[in-house]
Structure 1
């Protein structure tokens, strides 16, 4: 019920509210409530006035994988054609969409170097935003690509997953295990990219990047729609996908953006700017979601404040802590 605090204070402000609830109980028993403690709760009474300017018709494609675990990508083409098949089924039902959204690793081979994959992607009459592996100049990138048969625009994941996409402290890791030498590192991207489709300015966020505060703030300042592409196949039927979906919901509130979250295996979801899940898929199935999603240009209070949101939260916590110490004396 107090998740909307994230729109004012970000994830840090929301975490501070958890502390607040504990302090609230303490001060109630001590009969020493103060405005300092209660004031942040007044934010809960403020409406989240967000105006949508236009909308996009979108298909989220969850193609599923042949098997879970780390070896799912051994069948890269099978995963690709799963997404092709589900896309064709979805387009038969919803032909008039603005674009299709595929998850991270939906194309786990380089589509620029594989003719069959390239031809298949060019056969779509609608633009696709897809996750792919791109090899260039001896480097490998985990990429999101806005693909049409006229042009391709590439965003390379900036915040790589440690141990999943690169080995940190590689010199030390090779001494601990010789297997580290067999693992190749991905190369991080160095800039944000905006995908423009009609009136939509879309920023892709790839999996682990979801926990990067500065990256999400930058996305909200640049885009009127955020898409999250993830691959949960390596985690099987664990709680990881549900955990990531919960993080995405908080990000939607924090940045006042509607978010489209798509996974290879689920959960895929359409999330509005209040963090509400409008619709979602189940785990472990091939499925698709159709959504008419609104575009939002105005910034949340948290994004207007920028780093000040964190600074104000820290100052408030210090003041509360000081007051608590005074009461204890």
Structure 2
């Protein structure tokens, strides 16, 4: 038991290391293999413990950024909550892979359970938290092109399937035929994406991103809200001077990050004047991340499109505010555990409209979908903007509250996967970094450093195709759910057939044995 526990814990550490900033993406399938082996041949309740231990060693270090300035309680609460999902998956892995003492690794079942676990974790409660999914670890992996055909869900399935096959190689090492077949399958799946060339050609759009920086890192970054706004105004005006002198090309679109104007420009004349003067100076459409003091007493996290000579023309309200960061559900209940909930003084409301800005350029009108911060991790939110006609994804984020942690690099990796998944260029702009221009093949350009003012200036190709992943939408998730249910039904039927009662009405609930497994294997061959 101790060896299994250590193996499960080690798999969690390996999963954490697969993500930025360590970014050893090749550890992801190895980590999946470790958990599959640890849970193979144990009872479901032991699988629960093993999955939970793997979750803790993954999420505690992987989500350390969540406690950067708010303390250890929110950090550990989030890590423990996320680990519960891996615990449930561990229990199901143990049960579906077979009875104690005689189980076999079932690679497809392993992959299906990873997909279902991530889907549930990214859905409930309060809309879920789809961070540190297997797909997000593969931005630098040869497997990345899979996202174009099967989405982030399919990419997770591929990583987990390779892991399951590796586990089968180890488990079946005394049966050369099975071990060789599993190894060949893992190798073929790992190498197949190398034959895919992700298309990147498209009409070029000259874009500019402004990383204005903040006076201080931490929760008090917006205590100097005017300074944050001024930083972005000043840097954009510097860019305008460089454009006028010929040092930089004229941009067709400029993007500021989330929280670049926490002073509501709809209510504050000074903030509105600064923005309008900046738009006039840069002579290009400007997307601004702003906090609006409405609907009172609540507030809104918004993207605002300003045009030269026209001012504000379109508004997008963030559709998925982050629970416990932008609003507090059941505030009085959670205050009992921590008064930190009151750091969120006013709850953000959720928008109900898909964001699609019609940006006029010298090359014609370009549809752009604004995505605010953590929204980039939610499949449906990004897909809805692309399906509405967006040719460019603008991810606006503010990472100042997470300091010099891995959060910003983890988020950038998600944007890179999204670029491949939907065949769209992405302009990913943060107040403090990491910002970058991303082409549809997931490559980053002009990647910035943390807490450094920077101007991103370059061309991004615009594409209008519908990728296979976008075409099939959420189908991979539902297929994984159906496959998991089917595997559970088959497992239950096998157990029922073998444990058939000797007399009518009497149920034999004795534990399954190696002989039972032989019978199950025979049933497998027949079915």
TM-score (norm 1): 0.90
Aligned partners of 1:57, 1:119: CA distance in 2, in Å?
25
Say whether residues 1:218 and 2:408 are aligned partners.
no
Q: Which has the higher contact order (CA 8 A, sep 6+)?
A: 1
Distance 1:78 1:302, change over 3 A: same
Say whether residues 1:5 and 2:5 are aligned partners.
no
Unmatched tracts of structure 1, length 5 or more = none
Aligned 8 A contact 2:162 2:186 in 1: no
Aligned partners of 2:190, 2:487: CA distance in 1, in Å?
14
Considering only CA atoms, is the larger Rg found in Structure 1 or Structure 2?
2
Say whether residues 1:170 and 2:331 are aligned partners.
yes
TM-score (norm 2): 0.58
Aligned to 1:299: 466
Aligned to 2:256: 102
Residue by residue, what CA displacement relative to the aligned partner does 1:9-28 show, whole Å, maximum 9, x if unpaired? 22221112222222333455
Q: Aligned-pair RMSD on alpha carbons? A: 2.8
SS at match of 1:290: strand
1:254 pairs with 416, 421, 425, which one?
Answer: 421
1:147 pairs with 298, 306, 309, which one?
Answer: 306
C-alpha displacement at 1:289, in angstroms? 0.7
SS at match of 1:3: coil
C-alpha displacement at 1:50, in angstroms? 3.1
Matches within 5 A, 1:116-195: 116-123=270-277, 124-125=279-280, 126-138=284-296, 139-148=298-307, 149-152=309-312, 153-177=314-338, 180=341, 183-195=345-357
Residue by residue, what CA displacement relative to the aligned partner does 1:15-74 show, whole Å, maximum 9, x if unpaired? 122222223334554432279877755751553453644221111000000000001101
Residue by residue, what CA displacement relative to the aligned partner does 1:167-225 show, whole Å, maximum 9, x if unpaired? 02223124445564672101111111211113311000000111111111112212110
Aligned partners of 1:317, 1:15: CA distance in 2, in Å?
15
1:19 pairs with 160, 165, 169, which one?
Answer: 160
Matches within 5 A, 1:301-316: 301-312=468-479
* Greater CA drift, 174-183 or 154-163: 174-183
Aligned partners of 1:310, 1:43: CA distance in 2, in Å?
22
* Greater CA drift, 58-67 or 277-286: 277-286
Distance 1:79 1:25, change over 3 A: same
Distance 1:270 1:178, change over 3 A: closer
C-alpha displacement at 1:312, in angstroms? 4.3
Aligned 8 A contact 1:135 1:141 in 2: yes
1:69 pairs with 208, 218, 229, which one?
Answer: 218
Q: Which has the higher helix share?
A: 2
Distance 1:48 1:303, change over 3 A: farther
Q: Which has the higher strand share?
A: 1
Aligned partners of 1:150, 1:25: CA distance in 2, in Å?
59
Aligned partners of 2:323, 2:259: CA distance in 1, in Å?
17
C-alpha displacement at 1:261, in angstroms? 0.3
Distance 1:326 1:209, change over 3 A: farther
Residue by residue, what CA displacement relative to the aligned partner does 1:112-136 show, whole Å, maximum 9, x if unpaired? 1111111111112222101001123
Aligned to 1:243: 410
Aligned to 1:209: 375
Distance 1:179 1:40, change over 3 A: closer
Aligned partners of 2:349, 2:157: CA distance in 1, in Å?
36
Distance 1:95 1:276, change over 3 A: closer
Unmatched tracts of structure 2, length 5 or more = 1-141, 243-247, 492-519
Residue correspondences, number: 328
